[in-house]
Structures are given as C-alpha cells and as structure tokens.
C-alpha cells in the first residue's frame, strides 16, 4: 500500500498534512516504536505524539530507522508533538521544546501544539500532574496567550515548522486568533460520532484551521460492546455495504465532516485497516445514521483541572 492512496490537507501556512495520522497515546514499552515502524511501511506519513505520552523516544527511533533504511526522507513525514501543562510559563517553553526534540532525536518537529489551554505549577520535568497536600492537581494561572507568544518564537528559531493548539474551545480560539502573530494551523480535539463537534469544526474551517480528531473510534470496548457507533447493527449494515469494518466507516465519516482522524493502534492489522479508507465515499443517508449517535458526551473530561479559569469544557463548544 503506497502513501499516495491517502490524500493531503493544506494547512494555513502552506504546509500540508496527510488526511489521517497514527495516534500513539498509551502506546508504550516498545509497542509505540513497532506501531510507528509498521505505520510508515503501510504508508502513514503523519504521526502524533506528546511529551505527556512519554513515548517521543519510541516515535523518534522508528522515524530515524525508516530514514536510515531509505523508506522515507525527513521531509516526507509530519511529526506532531505537544507542550505539556507544567511548561506554560513563557521562559520554560523553549526549554520544553528542546527537551522534546532531544527525546525524538530530531532537529525540528512539523507541528508543536499547546496540549491544553490551562497550566500546572512546575515541580520538575517529570511531574506531569503535580499535586498538593490534598492530592489535588496544582493549577497555575499562566495566560495561554503568553504561552503562545513564546511558542511563536519557536517557529522563528526553526525548532518547529508550525504551531497549533489542542482542546481549545470556541471562545479560547477566538481570543487567540485576535491576539496572535502566527495563526494556529491545527486544533486537536476529541471527535467521534458521539461528539461530532460540528459547531467547532465550522468555526475552525471559517478561520482556515485544520481539526485533528483524537479518540476517533471512541476507545472501543468489545466486552461491553461500546461505543454503540462501532458495535451497532445499523453501522454494521453500512460497513457490509462497502465491504469495510465499522471502524473504517467511522474514520471515513470523520474525514468527510472535515477532520483529520488520529486512530491509535499497536495492532498491525488494525493499523493497515485504519489507513485503508480512501477508496469509498459515504452517502447522505450513511451520514444521517452516524449523525444520530451525537450525544455530546465526552470521554476525556480532565475533571482534575475543572477549577482552572481556562478549563475548556464549561461551554458547549
């Protein structure tokens, strides 16, 4: 399977990104490295990681191996990683980015995202969720605009080609757009048929910001037959019609509603299956079925950060 099967999406700064990416959250212990190696062989040219995932090293080793083998050149692959919440103070941003580049073994990343709009107190590089005496996460009140200005400098320094955000709501995004020198190219958000995010996708489209979709398959649980949009007979009937799996139907739906999905898998067969979604199109009737699962229910609520003034989920979108 060649990389040419998947189309590319244009970013607002002239760069482009493949219309699907490999998600790597919770992929550890060598699984992430094996998954990335296989994904590149299959044709993926878009890999998503984060400092918080603690697997940047695995992604980096896989990418370097495939470059050494001549399968890809560095310019062929789009690597996204993210600034974690304890590095939001402007003076820590460049340090955090350089640490990430060291983890990856790369000179630059293609996209550096602010992982969340809220921030934590810095208690050390590895204290991802610093807690106080009561066991509550220690929030700080750094303004994400100040963090963003420090991220803009990373582009000038050549440490990242592009910058973007993750988990920003409509108000936060609008405020950022009114106060930035460099526009975010992406907003990475939880998105699947149960949380289809159409209002936020529309806002991002209006401002020429690509939406990347994490948890696109809603974290399937075969034992519980959840989420229903993967296991329901109505979606299975659509899958049968196209000779695809229900997961492929969901990923295709997410592409057609205007997102770039980031399915996470370390299973070689599923990595291939998730990529093989560019040879069919859904009908309006198929879309109506998938739209019917939209309850607005989130999987990722980050309730330990709910007291932050920058917690993004207090409003509808």
**Class (C level, CATH) for 14-305:** alpha beta
pLDDT in tens, the chain (317 residues): 444 488 999 999 999 999 999 999 987 778 999 999 999 999 999 999 999 999 999 999 999 999 999 999 999 999 999 999 999 999 999 999 999 999 999 999 999 999 999 999 999 999 999 999 999 999 999 999 999 999 999 999 999 999 999 999 999 999 999 999 999 999 999 999 999 999 999 999 999 999 999 999 999 999 999 999 999 999 999 999 999 999 999 999 999 999 999 999 999 999 999 999 999 999 999 999 999 999 999 999 999 999 999 999 999 99
pLDDT at res. 90: 98
Q: What are the residue boundaries of the structural domains of the chain, listed by start?
A: 14-305
SS (H, E, C) 76-99: HCEEEEEECHHHCCHHHHHHHHHH
What is residue 4's predicted lDDT score, i.e. its pLDDT?
46
| Residue tagged active-site, from 8, 25, 44, 53 | 53
The neighbour count for residue 209, using CB atoms within 10 Å, is 22
pTM assigned to the model: 0.96
Q: Is 311 annotated in the active site?
A: no
Please list, residue by residue across 94-105, b when 16 or more beta carbons sit within 10 angstroms of its beta carbon and e when fewer do: bebbeebbebbe
- In this predicted structure, what is the pLDDT of residue 3? 43
Structure token pair of residue 67: 């470059």
Looking at residue 127, its pLDDT comes to 95
- Would you say 192 is a known binding-site residue? no
Read off φ and ψ for residue 259, nearest 5 degrees: -125, 165
């Amino acid at each position: 399977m060649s990389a040419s099967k998947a189309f590319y999406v244009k970013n607002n700064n002239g760069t482009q990104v493949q219309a699907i990416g490999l998600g790597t959250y919770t992929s550890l212990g060598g699984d992430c490295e094996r998954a990335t190696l296989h994904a590149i062989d299959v044709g993926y040219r878009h890999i998503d990681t984060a400092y918080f995932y603690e697997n940047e090293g695995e992604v980096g080793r896989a990418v370097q191996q495939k470059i050494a083998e001549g399968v890809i050149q560095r310019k062929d692959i789009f690597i996204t990683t993210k600034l974690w919440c304890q590095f939001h103070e402007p003076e820590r941003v460049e340090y955090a980015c350089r640490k990430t580049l060291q983890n990856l073994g790369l000179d630059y990343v293609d996209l550096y995202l602010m992982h969340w709009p809220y921030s934590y107190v810095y208690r050390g590089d590895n204290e991802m969720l610093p807690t106080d005496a009561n066991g509550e996460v220690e929030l700080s009140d750094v303004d994400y605009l100040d963090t963003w200005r420090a991220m803009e400098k990373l582009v000038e320094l050549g440490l990242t080609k592009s910058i973007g955000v993750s988990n920003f709501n409509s108000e936060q995004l609008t405020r950022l757009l009114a106060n930035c020198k460099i526009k975010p190219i992406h907003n990475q958000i939880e998105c699947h048929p149960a949380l289809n995010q159409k209002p936020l996708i529309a806002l991002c489209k209006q401002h020429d910001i690509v939406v990347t979709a994490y948890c696109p398959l809603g974290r399937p649980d075969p034992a519980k037959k959840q989420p229903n949009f993967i296991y329901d007979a109505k979606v299975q009937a659509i899958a049968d019609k196209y000779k695809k799996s229900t997961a492929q139907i969901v990923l295709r739906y997410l592409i057609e509603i205007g997102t770039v999905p980031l399915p996470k898998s370390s299973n070689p067969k599923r990595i291939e299956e998730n990529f093989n979604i560019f040879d069919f199109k859904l009908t309006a009737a198929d879309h109506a079925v998938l739209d019917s699962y939209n309850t607005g229910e989130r999987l990722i609520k980050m309730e330990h950060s709910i007291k932050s003034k920058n917690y993004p989920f207090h409003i509808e979108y």
